[in-house]
Amino acid sequence: MVDNEGTTKVEDEKKEGAPEGDSEELLSLESLDSIISSEDPEFADSLNQIGHDEPIEIYNEGLELEYTLDAEIKLWSEATGIRKKLLKVLPFLPKISYKVRMKRTAFRLSSRKWKEQANYRIRNAGPLLLRYLGEQASKSKAKIGMGFEAFKAFSAIKKISFVGLIAATGAAGYLFYRLGTQGLMPPEGDLFIGSMADWSQGKYQYDPKNELESFYESTRTAQNVLVMKKMVVNLRRSSESGQNPMGAFEFYVEGTASEVVVEIKDRESEIEDLFLRTIEEMTFDQVSSGEGKRLLCDRLRKEVNKVLTKGYVRRVFIKTAIIKP
């Protein structure tokens, strides 16, 4: 018998003058590979990439894949010791053992196969990822190309309608996003300002009892103080005084503004006369005591404020007080 492995039968075109039976000839595989390489190099490269799969040993524990229930029953029947005694009491044990063995074998096969596949993917993660991305890019490119070809086949009205539909879809999406986040129309602002705290750059809390600083007593503001001339005045007699009690006084006058001090200086004689008439109404006992002096200063402040036209006097202090009984 002639061995024809390594050759193939190819039909050639009929030659002129050749009989019909001579149109077939035998062609070797090497010649066929050379013809494929010359005619279609890309197809030849794809054939060369095809190789045999590496053999994977997935089970090597001596258990045959053709293991049957009869073999399990035979194994139990030939057993000795406690297994033989159990078979006499429970004759259905070989069936249960067979099912358990098959399940365990299937689990081992699947776990071994999964491990081998996982190891293969881990070892070839880079090439597999690049291949997958290339395939996805090719598919996307093909789909985009098909879409462009289909769009080119549309009529002018269909093209305009398609573009308008895309624009309307985008506008509707933006509208829904605006409704869900900010609302269609901006909220109306308050017509009136309820609190300046809403517009301030910062908010601060302070204790009015301990952290409040008087405007007029602050060292950072001007002190509008005027020293009056020395005044000598007769006082009213009292039980503790003599026949003719007298007093000599000098006063500090503090105004709320510089205009107050200027007005008092311009009207000094008038203000001095007002001070003298107010002091004459005080008794020797009143002026001698501390409470009487505070009362005197308060009366002088009130009387001066009655005649001033530019502001008012905040306080009146005694600079010098000499009392003669």
Decide if 173 is inside a domain: no
**Confidence band, pLDDT 50/70/90 cuts, at residue 95:** confident
75 torsion bin: left (phi>0), alpha (psi -120 to 50), beta (else): alpha
Q: Is the pLDDT of residue 91 over 70?
A: yes
Residue 71 CA to its chain's centroid (Å): 68
Q: Is the pLDDT of residue 188 over 90?
A: no
**Confidence band, pLDDT 50/70/90 cuts, at residue 205:** confident
What is the spatial distance between Cα 172 and Cα 42, in angstroms, rounded to a whole number?
49
Burial 204-230 (b: 16+ CB within 10 A, else e): eeeeeeeeeeeeeeeeeeeebebebee
Decide if 190 is inside a domain: no
Decide if 142 is inside a domain: no
Rg of the chain taking only CA atoms, in angstroms: 60
pTM of the model: 0.37
Decide if 140 is inside a domain: no
Residues 168-185: what's their mean pLDDT?
Answer: 83
Q: Which of 123, 151, 186 is the last residue of a domain?
A: 123
| Weakest-pLDDT range from 86-95, 261-270, 286-295 | 86-95
CA angle 14, 10, 42 (to 5 degrees): 115
What is the spatial distance between Cα 314 and Cα 302, in angstroms, rounded to a whole number?
9
Nearest CA to 310 out of 252, 254, 263 is that of 263
Q: Which of 81, 104, 123 is the last residue of a domain?
A: 123
Q: Is the pLDDT of residue 290 over 50?
A: yes
CA angle 112, 117, 120 (to 5 degrees): 125
> What length does the chain have?
325
The tokens 């402040």 sit on which residue?
301
Q: Which of 90, 123, 156 is the last residue of a domain?
A: 123
Q: Take residue 7 and report the two structure tokens written for it.
A: 């050759």
β-pairing, 225-227 vs 24-28, is unpaired
What is the spatial distance between Cα 33 and Cα 49, in angstroms, rounded to a whole number?
14
Nearest CA to 304 out of 249, 258, 257, 264 is that of 264
Decide if 139 is inside a domain: no
- % of the chain surpassing 70 pLDDT: 76
Residue 264: per-residue pLDDT: 92
- Can you list the alpha helix ranges (DSSP code H) found in 154-257? 156-181
What is the spatial distance between Cα 285 and Cα 239, in angstroms, rounded to a whole number?
8
Decide if 52 is inside a domain: yes
Residues 92-114: what's their mean pLDDT?
Answer: 87
What is the spatial distance between Cα 125 and Cα 141, in angstroms, rounded to a whole number?
24
CB 292 within 8 A of CB 286: yes
Say how many domains are in the chain.
2
What is the spatial distance between Cα 25 and Cα 9, in angstroms, rounded to a whole number?
6
Q: Take residue 111 and report the two structure tokens written for it.
A: 């776990």
Decide if 10 is inside a domain: no
What is the spatial distance between Cα 57 and Cα 165, in angstroms, rounded to a whole number?
59
Q: What is the DSSP letter of 198?
A: G
- Domain residue limits at 39: 32-123
Q: Take residue 16 and report the two structure tokens written for it.
A: 């002129």
**Confidence band, pLDDT 50/70/90 cuts, at residue 256:** confident
Decide if 24 is inside a domain: no
* Domain CATH for 305: 3.30.479
